[in-house]
Amino acid sequence: DTGVSQNPRHKITKRGQNVTFRCDPISEHNRLYWYRQTLGQGPEFLTYFQNEAQLEKSRLLSDRFSAERPKGSFSTLEIQRTEQGDSAMYLCASSAATGSWPDTQYFGPGTRLTVL
Amino acid sequence: QKEVEQDPGPLSVPEGAIVSLNCTYSNSAFQYFMWYRQYSRKGPELLMYTYSSGNKEDGRFTAQVDKSSKYISLFIRDSQPSDSATYLCAMSESGGYSTLTFGKGTMLLVSP
């Protein structure tokens, strides 16, 4: 078990371009979360999957953002028509959903997005 | 006013000092409280967790929750340079799946 991995680690793009990030959760973790963290702030929840079903989306997640988890394993987060305000660290986390608390979320190292 | 307030620091202490980190919150529905540690260029990792009011101790770390004051604390005894990191408080309303609400984090610097 190598933990949660995210690719790429860094992405620089020009305003208006589309970007896609990938998250590979800890194997057999059925819950997967996406967060956004800007400099000097804590992570902000974006969306959550239970297996392949997207069960909750934050109102922070505008129509330009879409996330998928097609086979209940890895997940992708796509941002269309990027804006400078999208520059942030995008964190992925996974949890095992054992039924007992806490349902510990294990975070990946994040993908740092810079929109020029 | 944000739901969770946390002083961003930085907080600088000498090695061996007792460190006190705090958060206040406004949502009285929060019942589950967590502390995450985040090293530079890494994702957060869960450090401590408590349910409702009370204290919990784990080695050099003690977490306290005072729901009546909507105030939570993390104490670190005998602080070490390796404790230098950003400490994030996080809260949720339920113990099953529930959105985590984070504070902005306090940067701690422990000098040898």
Does B60 or A104 have the greater pLDDT score? B60
CB proximity B39 to A under 8 Å: no
The pair of three-digit structure tokens given for residue A115, joined into one six-digit string: 């929109």
Residue A88: pLDDT band (50, 70, 90) is very high
Does B42 or A97 have the greater pLDDT score? B42
The pair of three-digit structure tokens given for residue B85, joined into one six-digit string: 């990191």
Q: Do A109 and B43 touch (CB under 8 A)?
A: yes
Residues of chain A contacting residue B104, judged by C-beta atoms under 8 Å apart: 40-42
DSSP string, A9-22: SEEEE-TT--EEEE
Residue B95: pLDDT band (50, 70, 90) is low
**Strand, coil or helix: what is A36?**
strand
Phi, psi of A62 (to 5 degrees): -70, 175
- How far is CA A37 from each of CA A104, B50, B92, rounded to the nearest angstrom? 19, 24, 18
Residues of A near B (Cβ–Cβ under 8 Å) read: 4, 31, 40-45, 48, 50, 55-56, 58, 91, 93, 97, 99, 101-110
Residue B96: pLDDT band (50, 70, 90) is low
Residues of chain B contacting residue A107, judged by C-beta atoms under 8 Å apart: 43-45
Place of tokens 């739901």: B3
Instruction: Give the span between the Cα atoms of B40 and B34, in whole angstroms.
Output: 19
Q: Which long-range contacts (CB under 8 A, 24 or more apart) does B64-68 make?
A: B65/B33, B67/B28
